[in-house]
Protein backbone atom coordinates (compact mmCIF):
# COMPACT_ATOMS: atom_id res chain seq x y z
CA UNK A 1 0.00 0.00 0.00
CA UNK A 2 1.26 3.46 -0.83
CA UNK A 3 1.46 5.98 1.93
CA UNK A 4 0.11 9.44 1.54
CA UNK A 5 2.65 12.18 2.03
CA UNK A 6 1.85 13.71 5.39
CA UNK A 7 0.45 17.21 5.17
CA UNK A 8 3.42 19.37 6.02
CA UNK A 9 1.26 21.67 8.10
CA UNK A 10 -0.40 18.73 9.90
CA UNK A 11 -1.39 17.46 12.31
CA UNK A 12 -4.72 18.87 13.29
CA UNK A 13 -3.93 18.16 16.89
CA UNK A 14 -1.18 20.77 16.71
CA UNK A 15 -3.96 23.36 16.40
CA UNK A 16 -2.39 24.80 13.25
CA UNK A 17 -5.64 25.39 11.42
CA UNK A 18 -6.69 28.79 12.67
CA UNK A 19 -10.07 30.04 11.47
CA UNK A 20 -8.75 33.32 10.03
CA UNK A 21 -6.69 31.44 7.42
CA UNK A 22 -9.65 29.46 6.15
CA UNK A 23 -10.39 28.04 3.74
CA UNK A 24 -7.38 25.76 3.88
CA UNK A 25 -6.63 24.07 0.61
CA UNK A 26 -4.85 20.75 0.26
CA UNK A 27 -2.39 20.68 -2.64
CA UNK A 28 -0.22 17.63 -3.29
CA UNK A 29 0.30 16.75 0.34
CA UNK A 30 0.35 20.24 1.83
CA UNK A 31 -2.50 21.89 3.73
CA UNK A 32 -2.16 25.56 2.81
CA UNK A 33 -4.02 28.65 3.98
CA UNK A 34 -6.01 30.37 1.22
CA UNK A 35 -3.36 33.06 0.67
CA UNK A 36 -0.71 30.42 -0.11
CA UNK A 37 -2.87 28.01 -2.07
CA UNK A 38 -1.38 28.47 -5.54
CA UNK A 39 -0.67 26.32 -8.57
CA UNK A 40 2.07 26.45 -11.18
CA UNK A 41 1.48 28.34 -14.43
CA UNK A 42 3.01 25.28 -16.16
CA UNK A 43 0.24 23.01 -14.93
CA UNK A 44 -1.62 21.49 -17.88
CA UNK A 45 -4.85 21.87 -15.93
CA UNK A 46 -4.39 25.63 -16.38
CA UNK A 47 -2.73 25.57 -19.81
CA UNK A 48 -5.17 23.15 -21.45
CA UNK A 49 -8.00 22.28 -19.06
CA UNK A 50 -6.31 18.90 -18.87
CA UNK A 51 -7.67 17.10 -15.84
CA UNK A 52 -10.90 16.19 -14.11
CA UNK A 53 -12.80 17.13 -10.98
CA UNK A 54 -15.61 16.34 -8.58
CA UNK A 55 -18.04 18.47 -6.58
CA UNK A 56 -18.98 16.66 -3.38
CA UNK A 57 -21.39 17.59 -0.57
CA UNK A 58 -20.67 17.28 3.11
CA UNK A 59 -23.72 16.87 5.35
CA UNK A 60 -23.21 16.69 9.11
CA UNK A 61 -19.44 16.21 8.57
CA UNK A 62 -20.13 13.14 6.42
CA UNK A 63 -19.06 12.91 2.79
CA UNK A 64 -22.26 12.31 0.84
CA UNK A 65 -21.93 9.57 -1.78
CA UNK A 66 -18.18 9.39 -1.32
CA UNK A 67 -17.87 6.05 -3.10
CA UNK A 68 -19.77 7.26 -6.17
CA UNK A 69 -17.65 10.40 -6.45
CA UNK A 70 -14.42 8.44 -6.02
CA UNK A 71 -15.61 5.89 -8.62
CA UNK A 72 -16.22 8.71 -11.07
CA UNK A 73 -12.95 10.59 -10.57
CA UNK A 74 -10.82 7.43 -10.65
CA UNK A 75 -12.68 6.27 -13.78
CA UNK A 76 -12.12 9.66 -15.40
CA UNK A 77 -8.41 9.63 -14.50
CA UNK A 78 -8.18 6.27 -16.23
CA UNK A 79 -9.98 7.58 -19.30
CA UNK A 80 -7.58 10.52 -19.42
CA UNK A 81 -4.60 8.21 -18.74
CA UNK A 82 -3.71 10.24 -15.68
CA UNK A 83 -1.89 8.10 -13.16
CA UNK A 84 -3.41 8.56 -9.73
CA UNK A 85 -0.81 8.32 -6.97
CA UNK A 86 -3.24 8.27 -4.04
CA UNK A 87 -5.42 5.36 -3.01
CA UNK A 88 -9.13 5.84 -2.39
CA UNK A 89 -8.58 5.47 1.36
CA UNK A 90 -5.90 8.13 1.27
CA UNK A 91 -8.16 10.38 -0.76
CA UNK A 92 -10.98 9.93 1.74
CA UNK A 93 -8.67 10.58 4.71
CA UNK A 94 -7.39 13.71 3.00
CA UNK A 95 -10.95 14.99 2.40
CA UNK A 96 -11.77 14.34 6.06
CA UNK A 97 -8.73 16.36 7.07
CA UNK A 98 -9.96 19.22 4.84
CA UNK A 99 -13.39 19.06 6.48
CA UNK A 100 -11.77 19.28 9.93
CA UNK A 101 -9.27 21.99 8.99
CA UNK A 102 -12.09 24.15 7.66
CA UNK A 103 -14.46 23.43 10.54
CA UNK A 104 -17.16 22.25 8.15
CA UNK A 105 -20.34 20.56 9.22
CA UNK A 106 -22.36 21.15 6.05
CA UNK A 107 -20.32 22.24 3.06
CA UNK A 108 -18.89 21.45 -0.32
CA UNK A 109 -15.67 19.82 -1.48
CA UNK A 110 -14.08 20.55 -4.83
CA UNK A 111 -11.63 17.80 -5.69
CA UNK A 112 -9.39 18.33 -8.71
CA UNK A 113 -6.86 16.16 -10.46
CA UNK A 114 -4.78 17.97 -13.06
CA UNK A 115 -2.27 16.50 -15.49
CA UNK A 116 0.35 18.37 -13.48
CA UNK A 117 3.32 20.51 -14.37
CA UNK A 118 4.73 20.02 -17.87
CA UNK A 119 6.14 21.93 -20.80
CA UNK A 120 4.34 24.48 -22.97
CA UNK A 121 3.39 21.97 -25.67
CA UNK A 122 0.28 19.80 -25.53
CA UNK A 123 2.11 16.52 -24.96
CA UNK A 124 0.57 15.15 -21.76
CA UNK A 125 3.34 12.61 -21.34
CA UNK A 126 5.78 15.38 -20.53
CA UNK A 127 3.94 15.94 -17.25
CA UNK A 128 5.60 13.52 -14.83
CA UNK A 129 3.13 13.75 -11.94
CA UNK A 130 -0.55 14.59 -11.61
CA UNK A 131 -1.55 17.27 -9.16
CA UNK A 132 -4.31 16.67 -6.59
CA UNK A 133 -6.11 19.64 -5.09
CA UNK A 134 -8.90 19.71 -2.54
CA UNK A 135 -10.90 22.81 -1.60
CA UNK A 136 -13.47 22.49 1.18
CA UNK A 137 -15.74 25.46 1.57
CA UNK A 138 -19.35 26.58 1.18
CA UNK A 139 -21.31 26.84 -2.07
CA UNK A 140 -24.62 28.52 -2.88
CA UNK A 141 -25.42 27.99 -6.53
CA UNK A 142 -28.83 29.66 -6.55
CA UNK A 143 -30.42 32.19 -4.19
CA UNK A 144 -32.70 30.73 -1.47
CA UNK A 145 -35.90 32.20 -2.96
CA UNK A 146 -35.36 30.11 -6.12
CA UNK A 147 -35.68 26.99 -3.98
CA UNK A 148 -39.08 28.05 -2.68
CA UNK A 149 -40.39 29.74 -5.85
CA UNK A 150 -38.71 27.76 -8.61
CA UNK A 151 -36.44 29.08 -11.33
CA UNK A 152 -36.67 30.15 -14.94
CA UNK A 153 -34.34 28.57 -17.48
CA UNK A 154 -33.93 28.86 -21.25
CA UNK A 155 -32.97 26.48 -24.02
CA UNK A 156 -29.45 27.39 -25.12
CA UNK A 157 -28.75 27.83 -28.82
CA UNK A 158 -25.41 26.16 -28.27
CA UNK A 159 -25.70 22.35 -28.24
CA UNK A 160 -23.84 20.04 -25.88
CA UNK A 161 -20.46 18.87 -27.12
CA UNK A 162 -21.16 15.68 -29.10
CA UNK A 163 -20.07 12.52 -27.31
CA UNK A 164 -17.73 11.63 -30.18
CA UNK A 165 -15.81 14.90 -29.62
CA UNK A 166 -15.63 15.05 -25.84
CA UNK A 167 -17.92 12.70 -23.93
CA UNK A 168 -20.03 14.84 -21.54
CA UNK A 169 -19.87 11.99 -19.04
CA UNK A 170 -16.21 12.92 -18.55
CA UNK A 171 -16.22 15.53 -15.82
CA UNK A 172 -13.14 17.22 -17.20
CA UNK A 173 -11.62 20.57 -16.33
CA UNK A 174 -12.68 21.71 -19.80
CA UNK A 175 -16.07 23.32 -19.16
CA UNK A 176 -16.04 25.92 -21.94
CA UNK A 177 -19.06 24.40 -23.71
CA UNK A 178 -21.02 24.79 -20.47
CA UNK A 179 -19.65 28.23 -19.67
CA UNK A 180 -20.57 29.60 -23.11
CA UNK A 181 -24.10 28.22 -22.70
CA UNK A 182 -24.26 29.62 -19.16
CA UNK A 183 -23.48 33.06 -20.61
CA UNK A 184 -26.47 32.65 -22.94
CA UNK A 185 -28.61 31.99 -19.86
CA UNK A 186 -27.25 34.97 -17.96
CA UNK A 187 -27.70 37.21 -21.00
CA UNK A 188 -31.34 36.04 -21.08
CA UNK A 189 -31.78 36.98 -17.42
CA UNK A 190 -31.60 33.54 -15.81
CA UNK A 191 -29.01 31.21 -14.32
CA UNK A 192 -29.37 27.91 -16.11
CA UNK A 193 -30.25 26.52 -19.54
CA UNK A 194 -31.01 23.27 -21.28
CA UNK A 195 -28.21 22.09 -23.55
CA UNK A 196 -29.67 19.98 -26.33
CA UNK A 197 -27.74 17.13 -27.88
CA UNK A 198 -26.77 17.76 -31.51
CA UNK A 199 -29.72 15.58 -32.56
CA UNK A 200 -32.12 17.69 -30.53
CA UNK A 201 -32.71 15.72 -27.35
CA UNK A 202 -32.83 17.31 -23.92
CA UNK A 203 -29.58 16.28 -22.34
CA UNK A 204 -28.65 18.27 -19.30
CA UNK A 205 -28.09 21.85 -18.19
CA UNK A 206 -24.72 23.54 -17.75
CA UNK A 207 -24.21 22.16 -14.25
CA UNK A 208 -27.31 20.11 -13.44
CA UNK A 209 -29.29 17.11 -14.74
CA UNK A 210 -32.91 17.61 -15.74
CA UNK A 211 -36.12 15.70 -14.96
CA UNK A 212 -39.76 16.25 -15.83
CA UNK A 213 -42.95 15.07 -14.14
CA UNK A 214 -45.84 13.97 -16.35
CA UNK A 215 -49.01 12.32 -15.05
CA UNK A 216 -47.41 11.54 -11.69
CA UNK A 217 -44.38 9.87 -13.26
CA UNK A 218 -40.80 11.19 -13.20
CA UNK A 219 -39.03 11.09 -16.56
CA UNK A 220 -35.49 11.86 -17.65
CA UNK A 221 -33.46 11.24 -20.78
CA UNK A 222 -31.12 8.24 -20.74
CA UNK A 223 -27.40 8.89 -20.31
CA UNK A 224 -26.63 7.98 -23.94
CA UNK A 225 -28.22 11.26 -25.05
CA UNK A 226 -24.88 12.66 -23.84
CA UNK A 227 -24.64 14.01 -20.31
CA UNK A 228 -22.86 13.69 -17.02
CA UNK A 229 -23.83 10.59 -15.06
CA UNK A 230 -24.89 12.76 -12.13
CA UNK A 231 -24.50 11.36 -8.64
CA UNK A 232 -27.65 13.24 -7.58
CA UNK A 233 -29.47 11.98 -10.69
CA UNK A 234 -28.58 8.40 -9.75
CA UNK A 235 -29.71 9.06 -6.17
CA UNK A 236 -33.09 10.41 -7.36
CA UNK A 237 -33.59 7.43 -9.70
CA UNK A 238 -32.23 4.68 -7.47
CA UNK A 239 -33.13 5.79 -3.95
CA UNK A 240 -35.37 8.80 -3.61
CA UNK A 241 -38.16 7.95 -6.08
CA UNK A 242 -38.39 4.28 -5.02
CA UNK A 243 -38.51 5.26 -1.32
CA UNK A 244 -41.27 7.75 -1.96
CA UNK A 245 -43.17 5.30 -4.18
CA UNK A 246 -42.79 7.53 -7.24
CA UNK A 247 -42.60 5.89 -10.67
CA UNK A 248 -39.50 6.78 -12.69
CA UNK A 249 -38.62 6.08 -16.29
CA UNK A 250 -35.83 6.98 -18.70
CA UNK A 251 -37.18 8.26 -22.00
CA UNK A 252 -35.60 10.43 -24.68
CA UNK A 253 -37.05 13.88 -24.06
CA UNK A 254 -37.52 16.75 -26.50
CA UNK A 255 -38.06 20.40 -25.62
CA UNK A 256 -41.82 19.93 -26.28
CA UNK A 257 -41.92 17.28 -23.54
CA UNK A 258 -40.33 19.70 -21.11
CA UNK A 259 -42.62 22.62 -21.92
CA UNK A 260 -45.69 20.34 -21.74
CA UNK A 261 -44.62 18.82 -18.40
CA UNK A 262 -46.59 19.18 -15.17
CA UNK A 263 -43.35 19.86 -13.28
CA UNK A 264 -39.69 20.20 -14.14
CA UNK A 265 -36.70 19.99 -11.81
CA UNK A 266 -32.93 20.01 -11.85
CA UNK A 267 -30.51 17.96 -9.78
CA UNK A 268 -26.86 18.39 -8.92
CA UNK A 269 -24.48 18.11 -6.01
CA UNK A 270 -24.27 21.88 -5.59
CA UNK A 271 -27.87 22.60 -6.70
CA UNK A 272 -29.38 19.61 -4.85
CA UNK A 273 -33.02 19.55 -6.13
CA UNK A 274 -34.67 22.68 -7.49
CA UNK A 275 -37.92 23.29 -9.38
CA UNK A 276 -38.02 24.90 -12.82
CA UNK A 277 -41.20 26.94 -13.19
CA UNK A 278 -40.57 28.57 -16.55
CA UNK A 279 -38.71 27.50 -19.70
CA UNK A 280 -38.13 30.48 -21.97
CA UNK A 281 -41.55 32.12 -22.21
CA UNK A 282 -43.48 28.99 -21.27
CA UNK A 283 -44.84 28.60 -17.75
CA UNK A 284 -44.53 25.08 -16.35
CA UNK A 285 -47.64 23.73 -14.61
CA UNK A 286 -49.02 26.31 -12.22
CA UNK A 287 -45.85 28.40 -12.41
CA UNK A 288 -45.03 27.42 -8.81
CA UNK A 289 -43.06 24.57 -7.32
CA UNK A 290 -45.24 21.49 -7.85
CA UNK A 291 -46.34 18.94 -5.25
CA UNK A 292 -44.04 16.17 -6.47
CA UNK A 293 -40.89 18.29 -6.51
CA UNK A 294 -41.82 19.53 -3.05
CA UNK A 295 -41.98 15.91 -1.85
CA UNK A 296 -38.67 15.05 -3.51
CA UNK A 297 -36.97 18.06 -1.95
CA UNK A 298 -38.33 17.22 1.49
CA UNK A 299 -37.35 13.55 1.05
CA UNK A 300 -33.85 14.58 -0.01
CA UNK A 301 -33.41 16.86 3.03
CA UNK A 302 -34.71 14.11 5.23
CA UNK A 303 -32.19 11.54 4.02
CA UNK A 304 -29.13 13.82 4.02
CA UNK A 305 -30.13 15.18 7.43
CA UNK A 306 -30.15 11.73 8.98
CA UNK A 307 -27.07 10.29 10.60
CA UNK A 308 -26.86 7.65 7.93
CA UNK A 309 -23.45 6.03 7.58
CA UNK A 310 -21.29 7.08 4.64
CA UNK A 311 -21.43 4.81 1.64
N1 LIG B 1 -24.30 17.97 -15.37
C2 LIG B 1 -23.20 18.74 -15.36
C3 LIG B 1 -22.68 19.30 -16.63
C4 LIG B 1 -22.55 19.00 -14.14
O5 LIG B 1 -21.45 19.76 -14.13
C6 LIG B 1 -23.07 18.47 -12.95
C7 LIG B 1 -22.38 18.72 -11.63
N8 LIG B 1 -22.34 20.05 -11.29
C9 LIG B 1 -24.24 17.69 -13.01
C10 LIG B 1 -24.82 17.46 -14.25
C11 LIG B 1 -24.83 17.09 -11.77
O12 LIG B 1 -24.01 16.01 -11.34
P13 LIG B 1 -23.85 15.60 -9.82
O14 LIG B 1 -25.19 15.27 -9.32
O15 LIG B 1 -22.92 14.45 -9.85
O16 LIG B 1 -23.28 16.78 -9.11
Query: Which residue ranges form the domains of the chain, and what is each CATH number?
Result: 11-137 (3.30.470.10), 144-306 (3.20.10.10)
Among candidate residues 38, 61, 157, 171, the one labeled active-site is: 171
Give pairs for 6-15: CB < 8 Å, separation 24+.
7/31, 7/94, 7/97, 10/97, 12/97, 12/100, 12/101
Confirm if 226 and 160 have CB atoms less than 8 A apart.
Answer: yes
Q: How confident is the model at residue 2 (pLDDT cuts 50, 70, 90)?
A: very low
Secondary structure of residue 27 in the 3-state scheme: strand
Q: Does the beta carbon of 233 lie inside 6 Å of ligand 1?
A: yes
Residue 81 CB-density burial (10 A; 0-12 exposed, 13-18 middle, 19+ buried) = exposed
Q: Is the pLDDT of residue 1 over 80?
A: no
Cβ-based neighbour number of residue 76 at 10 Å: 20
Q: Does the beta carbon of 72 lie inside 6 Å of ligand 1?
A: no
Which pTM does this prediction carry? 0.94
Closest CA relative to residue 302, chosen from 250, 243, 261: 243
pLDDT digits (tens, 9 = 90+) for 206-220: 999 999 999 999 999
CA 167 / ligand 1 centre spacing (Å):
14
Q: Does the beta carbon of 192 lie inside 6 Å of ligand 1?
A: no
Q: Is the pLDDT of residue 10 over 80?
A: no
Instruction: List, in sequence order, the alpha helices (H) in the chain.
Output: 44-48, 66-79, 88-101, 144-149, 176-187, 231-235, 241-244, 255-259, 291-305
Q: Rounded CA gap, 18 and 16, in Å?
A: 6
Confirm if 213 and 277 have CB atoms less than 8 A apart.
Answer: no
Average pLDDT, the chain: 94
Q: Is the pLDDT of residue 183 over 80?
A: yes
pLDDT digits (tens, 9 = 90+) for 273-299: 999 999 999 999 999 999 999 999 999
Beta strand 217-220 pairing with 248-250:
parallel
* Residues in the chain, total: 311
Q: Does the beta carbon of 269 lie inside 6 Å of ligand 1?
A: yes
From residue 72, alpha-carbon distances to 9, 171, 260, 297 in Å are 29, 8, 33, 25
Beta strand 62-63 pairing with 209-214:
unpaired
In testing the pocket of ligand 1, which one of 156, 159, 230 has its CB within 8 Å of the most ligand atoms?
230
CA 33 / ligand 1 centre spacing (Å):
28
Question: Partners of 81 in the beta sheet?
Answer: none
For residue 252, how many C-alpha atoms fall within 13 Å in the half-sphere facing its CB?
A: 8
The 8-class DSSP code of residue 107 comes to: E
Q: Taking the mean position of all CA atoms in its chain, how far away is CA 14?
A: 33
CA 120 / ligand 1 centre spacing (Å):
30
Q: Does the beta carbon of 237 lie inside 6 Å of ligand 1?
A: no
Amino acid sequence: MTTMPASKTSPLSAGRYSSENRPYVWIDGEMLPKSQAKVSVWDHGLLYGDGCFEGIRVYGKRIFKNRQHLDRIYRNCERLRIEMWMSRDEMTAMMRECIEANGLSDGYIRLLVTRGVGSLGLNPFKCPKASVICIADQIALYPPEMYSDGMRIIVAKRPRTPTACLDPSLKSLNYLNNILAKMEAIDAGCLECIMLSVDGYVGECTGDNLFIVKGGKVLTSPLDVGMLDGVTRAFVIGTLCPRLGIAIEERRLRVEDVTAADEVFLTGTAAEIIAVTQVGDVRIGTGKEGALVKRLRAGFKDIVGQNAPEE
